[in-house]
Chain A
Amino acid sequence: MSEKDVIIEIKGLSKWFGKFKVLDNINEVIHRTQVIVVCGPSGSGKSTFCKCLNGLEEFQEGDIVIDGISLKDPKTDLIKLRQRIGMVFQRFELYPHMTALQNITLAPLKVKKVSSKDAEKKAMALLERVGIPEQAGKYPGNLSGGQQQRVAIARALAMEPEIMLFDEPTSALDPEMIKEVLDVMIDLAKSGMTMVVVTHEMGFAREVADEIIFMDQGRIVERGTDKSFFSNPQSDRAKEFLNKILF
């Protein structure tokens, strides 16, 4: 892939929570339309890593450059940058006082200032895409976990992002609901969206990941394609981890 296709470049990223080093010299280059799966044991820093990419978490060393825009630069307009990066959270984080439709239209209405008619039309199309148009008028409290997460994906997509971040999108779901969310994500990956996905869903990784990153104690311990990572992990930690989650 050419240099021009690089959309995210992470250079020597380090972050501390007080004295504890959560991210330790992370380097990574992500190209447009690539799907990167990040896995690793809990506490390995993968969630924090994901939240650094859209500036929800600050970092102390190194830099993240998104399509030529440096996150380290204090002049960078994070609000503007976030319009190009959607995010889906482990616990959905839908706004409980708004309907599914209102959750999706809020940012387009207030940030992009589109008309309410256009915002609603677009939101309905997105609900259609994630397979639950009939739930538009319901409040999150009346939706199943899988439905809530699909609304959350639609909410992120409503800003027409170029990059989508997923922070353990299926870990809070009941097993029977995982598939409906993964199916939406697989569709999205196949449509050419650039994605960074923190997950332990190895089936998903096998199907769509261009690269799998294995993190432990704030470092990238191993990286590979799905084939090399699953059939021939190099580090002991990765072997141990795979043994635990695959069986």
Chain B
Amino acid sequence: MGAFDWKVIVDNFSFLMRGLGMTFQLAIIATIGGLVLGTLVGMARISSRFYIYYPATVFVNILRSIPLILVIFWFYFLVPIIAGRPLGDFLSATIAFVIFEASYFAEIIRAGIQSIPKGQMQAAYSTALNYRQMMQYVIIPQAFRNMIPSLLTQAIIIFQDTSLAYVIGLKEFLRSASIVDAREVRSLELYTFVGIVYFLICLTMSTVVKRWEAKKGKMR
């Protein structure tokens, strides 16, 4: 193989970008879905009722103890058996990601809520707010501010994790590059390009996180 030939990128640009679009789609759904499910699980983790606390804790501990790639495989092979029909690679990857990421978000949310001093809860209760009002107006808004850096960091990790959907044949960014590579045999150029794109996107997102933390530091 001679010198770098970037023509392969130009020639297949729209195909690669479709892959990147798929990566974004999966990452965004996984982040939003994981955040919603994770918030519920995180709140369940601090419940004083054992029948709420216990299943949530089992869910979190199991999912955080197995590799994501295994979860992706499971949903790809297992869910069609339960559902009785194949789900397709995108849907099965989406479900796997939402459930897996929810377990990580749940811990961020739980820690965020627990970082708020107990006195805040007592103050809210003492003015006759109920549990929902206390959470909604007093605890969650404060907890959320503390959590934003961790949540954004997790979103960056999700963005990178989506490349694992490669294993079930989902045509996300990395898979698209490997498809082009199979045809054109330009591994070095393709994977360098993929790496640079991942790097630039993640760098941008982590700069946003750092800015936020600096701004938050100033507010105190």
Contacts and interface: CB of A to CB of B under 8 A. Distances in A.
B127 A95 contact: no
Contact of B220 (A51, A94, A106, A141): A141
A141 B220 CA distance: 8
B126 A156 contact: yes
Contacts, number: 65
Q: Which of B120, B123, B137 has the most CB of A within 10 A?
A: B123
Nearest to B127: A107
Contacts of A51: 122
B117 to A, nearest CB: 8
B127 A89 contact: no
Given A79-B130, A80-B128, A107-B129, A97 B141 contact: yes
B138 interface: yes
Interface residues of A, number: 28
A111 B127 contact: yes
A82 B119 contact: no
A94 B124 CA distance: 9
B210 interface: no
Chief secondary structure at chain B's binding surface: helix
A97 B130 CA distance: 19
B178 interface: no
Interface string A139-171: 001000000000010011011000001000000
Contacts of B122: 51, 56, 87, 89, 93
A123 to B, nearest CB: 13
A172 B162 CA distance: 50
Contacts of A14: none
Given A79-B128, A82-B126, A89-B122, A110 B133 contact: yes
Contacts of A192: none
B211 interface: no
B128 A93 contact: no
Contacts of A158: 127
B119 A93 contact: yes
A40 interface: no
B145 interface: yes
A141 B216 CA distance: 13
Contacts of A99: none
B102 to A, nearest CB: 26
Nearest to B132: A110
B133 A54 contact: no
Interface string B137-171: 11001100100000000000000000000000000
Given A95-B138, A97-B145, A156 B127 contact: yes
A156 B123 CA distance: 9
A111 B128 contact: yes
B120 A95 contact: yes
A86 interface: yes
A96 interface: yes
B125 interface: yes
A165 B120 CA distance: 16
Contact of B126 (A87, A91, A94): A87
Interface of A: 51, 54, 56, 79-80, 82-83, 85-87, 89, 91, 93-97, 106-107, 110-111, 141, 152, 155-156, 158-159, 165
23 contacts: A56-B122, A56-B125, A79-B128, A79-B130, A82-B125, A82-B126, A86-B126, A87-B122, A87-B126, A89-B122, A89-B123, A93-B119, A95-B120, A95-B142, A97-B142, A97-B145, A106-B127, A107-B127, A107-B128, A111-B129, A111-B133, A141-B220, A158-B127
